[in-house]
Chain A
Amino acid sequence: MRSDFFASSKGSAQKIFDPRTKLLMVVTISTVVMADSGGGWMSVLCWILTFVPLALFLIERKWKAALIYFCVYWGATLMQLYLLPLTTGVVNFLLVAMSFFSVRFMPGIAMASYLVNTTTVSEFMGAMERMRVPQSLSIPLSVVFRFFPTVSEEYTAIGDAMRMRGIRFGGRKPAKMIEYRLVPLLVSCVKIGDELSAAALTRGLGAPIRRTNVCEIGIKPQDVFTMAVCAAMILLFIFEKI
């Protein structure tokens, strides 16, 4: 988990899309691309879809993410085309599996990473409220998102402590390594979690009323357009299956 996960700062996210639109895009891409059976114009559409996460990364200036996605996806595609026919045996086995997973799953994973990297906890809560998601799901889900960066912070601190002690993987007791990392991590996280809950509850979280939200989320023309395209893709996909 990267530390800029879900963090927002001025200008880092340009709020092109509403969180709901982004969610629909994730669902569409991971459904349609993954089930692409090749041939015909559906395949062409899928091929176009794989560029969507790349374009979004570039628009948001997430250069590193764009580069990784580009390399993995098109690397695997090229590998399928040129390297696979040349190999046999174990190498072939590995390459088949690797390209299979990269080509099928990378677009969906990239889209999901775009969603989490450009949406704040508060926007996500706002979107869930507008979708009428009950509090029993929206509260834990927002806590999950809130905790990603915290867990990674704590994990780094424990990693520091282990480096100072000269404890590392491949050392004397490999099974102990997991214990040494997990136990302090869980103790810290439970403690922070308790304090966080206490603070949130004293500020009224969990009141049995509809929450309001000051985030500027809302369906804009580009959301309507994108949602329509997504819906069309999914309909086409179902139509093709039948």
Chain B
Amino acid sequence: MIKLTNVSFTYTGGREDAGVRNINLTIRPGEVVLVCGESGCGKTTLTRMVNGLIPHFYEGELTGTIYVGAKDVAKSELYDLARTVGSVFQNPRSQFFNVDTTSELAFGCENLGIAEDEILTRVRKTVADLSISHLLDRSIFELSDGEKQKIACGSVSVLGPDIYVLDEPTSNLDFETIAALRRVLSFWKATGKTILVAEHRLHFMKGIADRVIFMREGEIRETHEGAEFFALPPRYFEERGLRIPSLDRLPAAETAEADLPSDPIRIEKMRVSLRGEPILNIPALEIPSGGIIAVIGANGAGKTTFARSLCGLVSGDRSVVTFRGRALNAKKRLSVCYLVMQDVNHQLFTESVLDEVLLSMSVEDETRADETLLSLDLSAFREDHPMALSGGQKQRVAIASALVSEREILVFDEPTSGLDLVHMRETARNIAALKRNGVTSFVVTHDPEFILACCTHVIRIEAGEISGNYPLDSSGVKNLTAFFRHDESMAERT
């Protein structure tokens, strides 16, 4: 179904995503193949060569031949390939052409000029197959990331291609939606479709993937049978920088029992509504200060709103946060708390890392800026453009500017989405280092491996309300793993 022969590709101008070398790969009809490997190993490039974005969208030098079905990818137009290959991408926010879900589901078919009645029939069948009928006729701006990703799957499914290509589809998803995605994949597999998935998260592919390919430095290094791969010992994954293959294998927490000062952070009257509908309601909440607090919950539960309110970014917010003896209203929190955004690009303004740090100081002090850069391992990039850095480095620049402006509470919004093991640990180390400086961190996350790597406390938000608040001691760890597994098994059953 898919056949790559001696394929190599390099991006024009050496873009950050690496190319691939000497790829030989044949995928049989109906086979499900999982591609894994560290960031930059070439797995995304591989998916782009199958859906035709290489060479038709991303420019570069391509050698070798790629066949998808009977079509030579290099010689076919993208709209021709669209009938054969359907693609789902990483970022649910940027793959919608329309602003309402029904038009989006119909979009692909409309482009290919399929008759209106036929499209409507197909849309109805697809929403039934993927159990997403409740999402019809909605504005995409009201959907959670999880719901958007379901629509993205639906919109390719409507076209009925023989091949599905998914590039890191779970990066922004909670466990329930990941389980839903798993059901979608199983459904496609059961209907005989060929599926290629490039992913960091592996556990949801267990039992679905027929074959697993491990890539490194743009080459295919290993190929395993699916069942055999998921049974490999923990050391195997560790050595290759891969995420855990199963939630049963969550590592035990390394953090000792919490040794935190007794004076807690108190949050009161945190109520936020959007268009008259309450999306967050926390009458009172006490959390130990000085730790790293994981904020967990489903997509759309109100976690990001919680983070924004905590940082004083919600207008008309009447909540009060009492911290180290001071009662802080929203306006005061603007200068005490700092949000490290999911898209760090939004908060990098200047032309060099040093300027970025200086900008945050009330009085510019280059010596202190340099000390901060040194402590965050950024000295080497002092003169570099912040936007040219890697994701983890950008995060550290944002942390540096928070530190020099003497923030005491840092809030991270999904800092590890789409990160491989090495980079996830880098982020965990960055945040753990803050704790030693006496900074309290809140981390909104869907990533149990990350929570167990550095967090000390967990709060759980469900439908805008706090439904869990516990320290991450040994019973807390049990609680947490139970949450993620329960979430998974619950979703599995529905």
Contacts and interface: CB of A to CB of B under 8 A. Distances in A.
Question: A and B: direct contact (Cβ < 8 Å)?
Answer: yes
Interface of A: 3, 6-10, 12, 120-122, 142, 146, 149, 154, 157-158, 160-167, 179-180, 183-184, 187-188, 191-192, 195-215
B311 A120 contact: no
B387 A121 contact: no
A146 B96 CA distance: 9
Nearest to A8: B100
Given A191-B94, A196-B97, 13 more contacts: A121-B103, A160-B313, A161-B349, A163-B334, A180-B349, A184-B345, A188-B345, A196-B94, A203-B155, A205-B79, A212-B116, A214-B116, A214-B123
B99 A8 contact: yes
Q: Is the interface of B mostly helix, strand, loop or mixed?
A: mixed
A161 B138 contact: no
B56 A201 contact: yes
B286 interface: no
Contacts of A203: 82, 86-87, 97, 107-108, 111, 155-156, 159
A201 B57 contact: yes
Contacts of A121: 97-99, 103
Interface string B47-91: 000011100110000000000000000000111011101110101
Contacts of A191: 94, 345
Contact of A199 (B56, B85, B97): B97
Contacts of A200: 97, 107
Contacts of B311: 164
Interface in B98-129: 98-100, 102-103, 106-116, 119-120, 123
Which of B109, B115, B337, B343 counts the most A-chain CB atoms under 10 A from its CB? B343
Contacts of B422: none
Given A8-B99, A183-B349, A212-B110, A164 B138 contact: no
A188 to B, nearest CB: 6
A121 B102 CA distance: 12
Interface of B: 51-53, 56-57, 77-79, 81-83, 85-87, 89, 91, 93-100, 102-103, 106-116, 119-120, 123, 137-139, 141-142, 152, 155-156, 159, 308, 311, 313, 334-335, 337-339, 341, 343, 345-350, 359-360, 387, 401, 405
Nearest to B398: A161
B349 A184 contact: yes
Which of B97, B123, B334 counts the most A-chain CB atoms under 10 A from its CB? B97
B271 to A, nearest CB: 19
A184 B82 contact: no
The 6 A-B residue pairs with the shortest CB-CB distance in the complex, in nearest-first order: A122-B103, A207-B79, A204-B82, A199-B95, A204-B111, A161-B347
Contacts of A166: 334-335, 405
B121 to A, nearest CB: 11
Given A160-B339, A207-B111, A3 B141 contact: yes
A183 B350 CA distance: 9
Given A197-B57, A199-B89, A120 B98 contact: yes
A146 B334 contact: no
B360 A165 contact: yes
Given A10-B137, A204-B108, A212 B345 contact: no
A7 B139 contact: yes
B142 A9 contact: yes
Contacts of B85: 202
Which of B51, B83, B346, B359 counts the most A-chain CB atoms under 10 A from its CB? B346
B335 A204 contact: no
Nearest to A126: B110
Contact of B82 (A142, A202, A212): A202
Contact of B308 (A6, A154, A160, A197): A160
Given A3-B141, A211-B111, A202 B98 contact: no
A212 B103 contact: no
A165 B361 CA distance: 9
A145 to B, nearest CB: 8
A8 B89 CA distance: 24
Contact of A202 (B52, B94, B123, B139): B52
B365 to A, nearest CB: 15
B339 to A, nearest CB: 6
Contacts of B93: 192
A6 B98 CA distance: 10
Contacts of A198: 53, 57, 89
Nearest to B85: A202
A214 B110 contact: yes
A206 B97 contact: no
A206 B115 contact: no
B235 to A, nearest CB: 36
Contacts of B81: 202
A190 to B, nearest CB: 10
Which of B78, B155, B350 counts the most A-chain CB atoms under 10 A from its CB? B78
B346 A205 contact: no
B103 to A, nearest CB: 3
Given A121-B99, A205-B79, A214-B119, A8 B139 contact: yes
Contacts of B338: 164
Contacts of B349: 161-162, 165, 167, 179-180, 183-184
A210 B111 CA distance: 8
Given A160-B313, A202-B52, A212 B387 contact: no
Nearest to B344: A161
A212 to B, nearest CB: 5
Contacts of B94: 191-192, 195-196, 199
A204 B83 contact: yes
Given A198-B57, A199-B89, A207-B112, A214 B347 contact: no
A212 B110 CA distance: 5
Given A122-B103, A165-B360, A209-B112, A146 B98 contact: yes
B97 A205 contact: yes
B91 A195 contact: yes
18 contacts: A9-B139, A121-B97, A122-B99, A146-B99, A167-B359, A180-B349, A191-B345, A198-B53, A199-B95, A199-B96, A200-B97, A200-B107, A203-B159, A204-B78, A206-B111, A207-B111, A211-B113, A214-B116
Contacts of B346: 154, 157-158, 160-161, 184, 188
A188 B341 CA distance: 13
A208 to B, nearest CB: 8
